Structure 1
Amino acid sequence: MKSIFALILICVIFMDLEYVLFRDRSVVELTTDAWIFAACVTALVIMHLTRRMDVSYVVFACMMIPVFMFELWIAGNKHGALYTFAIFSIWTIAAVGPKASIPMFIVCVAVVIISVAIEPYLPRMRTEFAMTASNPEGWLFHNPQKEPIGRDEALTFLFGLSILYAGMYSAQSALNQANRRIEHLLVNVLPPSIAARLTERDEHDFLDGGATIADAHDEATILFADIVGFTEISSKIPPDEVVALLDRIFGTFDDLAELYEVEKIKTIGDAYMAVCGLPEPNTHHAVNIMEMAIAMLDAVSRIRTESGSQIHLRIGINTGPVVAGIIGRRRFLYDLWGDAVNTASRMESHGEADTIQVGRNTYEALKDAYEFRALGNIKVKGKGLLPAWQLIGRRRIAPLEGGDAAAI
């Protein structure tokens, strides 16, 4: 839209120059041409500096409406000057939005009505500044080339403008509402900052693989949680109850993730994956993840199946450098890669029910604030022997992001 508006401004500049260079223009007309040229250049400069079409367009319209108002009084509807106000009204909808366009529509309608009303009463003025070959006597408001705006013409124009404006207003409102729904869905699938970067991509990027996003992060803390024995649980209850149970559990986890400024990555079956420290930096990422993990165990302890069975959770946590981003061309998913991610997954899979097991990096980051039991080296498939620690409890109140303290 910005490119189209800029192209229109450039075309108007060239048309203006053509009038100045190749047509017989009076001083009054040349002054009008100069003002139009200045309005176009000003709008282009503002859009270049601010990168905002709405600001640029409003400035342009405010400079141009008085010019065309004066043009109507001098030349009437010559060359369709009247319909310029229809263009202003419709373009304002796209430039600043439907609701914000209403004042401009009212102004344009008012200008036309005022011009039609006062045109018969404009003074018969002659000035040398209005003299041209086609207007040798220099009539300002009653020159021989003037095409007055008749009452019927004005009524037809205003009726047509109202219908066109109402249609465009409705269409743009529906489009904006659809875009808001899409944005809402997108930020529920991807982190807001990643969603914003993705929406800025050109549509051809998605076909050419250009939608790939990959960011290296020096340090983040990853959490994996798995419902222990869920396969057995799900075999004893109807499918709809399985889904309802998972939705209740994971919905609770989502609320906790928002509370502790943790980014949910995905769910895989009955497993839940989250991270803190990306895509937005968080200096307390390890503490926030640990507090969320403790809250998850507490929340699950209060959840029962319809038959009254207790839900048990196994959690693994690790800290370290990761690569995060989006790959592929369809059904985009924000994901993490790296040894720290694999270790966190292994901490979970080799842990015990209702416990939180952490790797060395997380232990080193939290050992002053939390008490752990050393498990020694555990044999991990694909990783060999890895040291692991099991959380016992808090040593003291742990600070969270923003200076708040973790609840004990």
Structure 2
Amino acid sequence: MENTQLPSLVRRVFQYRDLETESTEAEYEAWRSRFMRKRLRLGLWIALVAFFSSTLLQLGNLLFQTHEFRPDWVRSQVAIEISLLVFLLLQRSSFGRRYPSAIFLGFYWSVTIIPQIPYTLTGSAEPDILVWTLMFFGQATLIPVRWSLHLISQLGVFAYYLGLNTAVGVQLSTPADWMSPAVLALYFFWVCFVGDLSVYLYESLQKAEFKARRNLEEAYHKLEAEQKLSESLLLNILPQSIVERLKSEPKTLADSFTDVTVLFADIVGFTELSSRISPPELVELLNQIFSEFDRLADLHDLEKIKTIGDAYMVVAGLPEDREDHVQAIANMALDMQQAIASFNANTQQNFSIRTGIATGPVVAGVIGIRKFIYDLWGDTVNLASRMESHGIPGAIQVTEDTYNRLKNEYLFQERGLVKVKGKGEMKTYLLTGRKVEN
């Protein structure tokens, strides 16, 4: 069976990694597309302003230096400016958002090829070293994405200059006598090579940085999730105020509380039942009962301290003070009696709980360095435990001090004197109900 499961497990692992890689690639492509659109918009505006300033210069020549005015240049520049405006509008459209590469190529070729059209029409063409070089290097630094796109745009320029002009019989010339075709070819080769190489290196660096940043964000989110899980587990053990104090002061914590109420409850007959049913069934029954007690503790805003076997301990009045701590525990005890009755009706069991309550001062805190819990110490804790152990199954036994605080609001039955270990005879009472609904 293990041999058949192992390949399946391996496939799932590698499939997960493939999906993770695909997700990263898709996110990078989306980021690169957004980056390209932003840079394209910036590049188009820069080019538009640059050509417009040159047009203004020519208009100045027309007004003040007529001999330097070049109408053919103005016509070419105005054509370029119109094309740039068109691409700016397209760049903001759904087409531009979907196909930024088409806008890039249109931008590139409008600046480099439109000025060549008049030369083609006159039958004599020469390469524009200044404009082409500015475009080759400018685009590589301003829009450094997709080196292959830069290469295509460069090849398009040379295809027009060499291919189309040659096809229609245009005479090709060099900008200067000393610049032979071989020198010109070598010059543009290195200009294009350096531009494309810089884009390739920049893009590789950006991709690595994007993946590293994404991995860092994922690691941070995982760490944050682990911290939340750890804190959630810690809050299941300790009160929130104690957790906050332990974070800032990781040492032994102990506080004195002058007036709290402690409840102990024990499930009668549970030990005997353990000899008749299987351990898993026993634990499941206990979990159902204590889960309901936990819900009641949350309902009454009480602090659950611990469970010991089939005993349950809860306290009111700490770690935050509250005036109604005695009433809160009394309500909890009565609701626990109802909860166990409902449980018996639903499961056909015959459990009862023996409950003890005491009120007074305690010391509460966290001790030790491993498997620590928030615990209570003091005579009040011992009294509550004795009220439970010396109590009656199905009854809630309280001390005289607790009775005096509750007698005006709750119903009691006087039990009389009970001999309590370590205390001698004590007068105790049995809480039976509420005089009015709280």
Q: Please give the range of the TM-score, normalised by the shorter of the 2 chains.
A: 0.5 to 0.7
1:60-119 deviation digits (Å, cap 9, x = unpaired): xxxxxxxxxxxxxxxxxxxxxxxxxxxxxxxxxxxxxxxxxxxxx99x979995899599
Residues 373-388 of structure 1 correspond to what in structure 2 (within 5 A)? 373-388=413-428
For 2:362 and 2:398, how far apart are their aligned partners in 1?
17
Residues 206-355 of structure 1 correspond to what in structure 2 (within 5 A)? 210=251, 212-304=252-344, 308-355=348-395
Return the offset for 1:368.
Answer: 0.7
Return the offset for 1:162.
Answer: 1.0
Q: Cα gap change, 1:300/1:174 in structure 2, threshold over 3 Å: closer, same or farther?
A: same
Q: Does 1:188 align with 2:228?
A: no
Q: Does 1:177 align with 2:217?
A: no
For 1:248 and 1:160, how far apart are their aligned partners in 2?
53
Q: Cα gap change, 1:184/1:111 in structure 2, threshold over 3 Å: closer, same or farther?
A: farther
Return the offset for 1:274.
Answer: 0.2
For 2:37 and 2:402, how far apart are their aligned partners in 1?
69
Return the offset for 1:313.
Answer: 0.6
Return the offset for 1:361.
Answer: 2.0
Q: Is the 8 A contact 1:116 1:154 kept in 2?
A: no
Q: Which moved further from structure 2: 256-265 or 159-168?
A: 159-168
Return the offset for 1:154.
Answer: 4.2
For 2:358 and 2:44, how far apart are their aligned partners in 1?
78
Q: Where has structure 1 moved over 3 Å in runs of 4 or more?
A: 108-123, 148-151, 304-309
From the CA coordinates, give the structure whose radius of gyration is larger. Answer: 2
Partner of 1:170, secondary structure, is helix
Which residue in 1 is equivalent to 2:151? none
Q: Cα gap change, 1:114/1:279 in structure 2, threshold over 3 Å: closer, same or farther?
A: farther
For 2:233 and 2:370, how far apart are their aligned partners in 1?
15
Q: Cα gap change, 1:369/1:306 in structure 2, threshold over 3 Å: closer, same or farther?
A: closer
For 2:262 and 2:277, how far apart are their aligned partners in 1?
31
Partner of 1:225, secondary structure, is strand
Return the offset for 1:192.
Answer: 1.6
The residue type equivalent to 2:241 in the other structure is S
Q: Does 1:200 align with 2:257?
A: no
TM-score (norm. length: structure 1): 0.58
The residue type equivalent to 1:266 in the other structure is K
Q: Cα gap change, 1:113/1:216 in structure 2, threshold over 3 Å: closer, same or farther?
A: farther
Q: Cα gap change, 1:119/1:369 in structure 2, threshold over 3 Å: closer, same or farther?
A: same
1:201-246 deviation digits (Å, cap 9, x = unpaired): 4xxx4xxxx2x11111121110000011221111111111110110
For 2:44 and 2:370, how far apart are their aligned partners in 1?
61
Which residue in 1 is equivalent to 2:398? 358
For 2:318 and 2:207, how far apart are their aligned partners in 1?
55
State the identity as a percent: 43
Q: Cα gap change, 1:339/1:115 in structure 2, threshold over 3 Å: closer, same or farther?
A: farther
The residue type equivalent to 2:248 in the other structure is E
Which residue in 1 is equivalent to 2:65? none
Partner of 2:392, secondary structure, is coil
For 2:284 and 2:346, how far apart are their aligned partners in 1?
10
Return the offset for 1:391.
Answer: 1.4
Q: Is the 8 A contact 1:245 1:305 kept in 2?
A: no
For 2:302 and 2:414, how far apart are their aligned partners in 1?
26
The residue type equivalent to 2:239 in the other structure is P
The residue type equivalent to 2:304 in the other structure is K
For 1:245 and 1:169, how far apart are their aligned partners in 2?
44
1:262-308 deviation digits (Å, cap 9, x = unpaired): 11110000000000111122211111111110010111112239984
Which residue in 1 is equivalent to 2:192? none
Which residue in 2 is equivalent to 1:58? none
Residues 162-173 of structure 1 correspond to what in structure 2 (within 5 A)? 162-173=210-221
Residues 13-162 of structure 1 correspond to what in structure 2 (within 5 A)? 113=39, 117=43, 151=144, 152=199, 154-162=202-210
**More helix by percentage:** 2
Q: How large is the RMSD of aligned CA atoms in angstroms?
A: 2.9
Which residue in 2 is equivalent to 1:21? none
Return the offset for 1:179.
Answer: 1.1
Return the offset for 1:175.
Answer: 0.9
The residue type equivalent to 2:217 in the other structure is Y
For 1:307 and 1:298, how far apart are their aligned partners in 2?
14
For 1:337 and 1:111, how far apart are their aligned partners in 2?
69
The residue type equivalent to 1:364 in the other structure is N
Q: Cα gap change, 1:347/1:114 in structure 2, threshold over 3 Å: closer, same or farther?
A: farther
TM-score (norm. length: structure 2): 0.55
For 2:244 and 2:286, how far apart are their aligned partners in 1?
30
Q: Does 1:392 align with 2:437?
A: no
For 2:36 and 2:435, how far apart are their aligned partners in 1?
72
The residue type equivalent to 1:376 in the other structure is G
1:12-42 deviation digits (Å, cap 9, x = unpaired): xxxxxxxxxxxxxxxxxxxxxxxxxxxxxxx
Q: How many residues align?
A: 261
Q: Is the 8 A contact 1:220 1:322 kept in 2?
A: yes
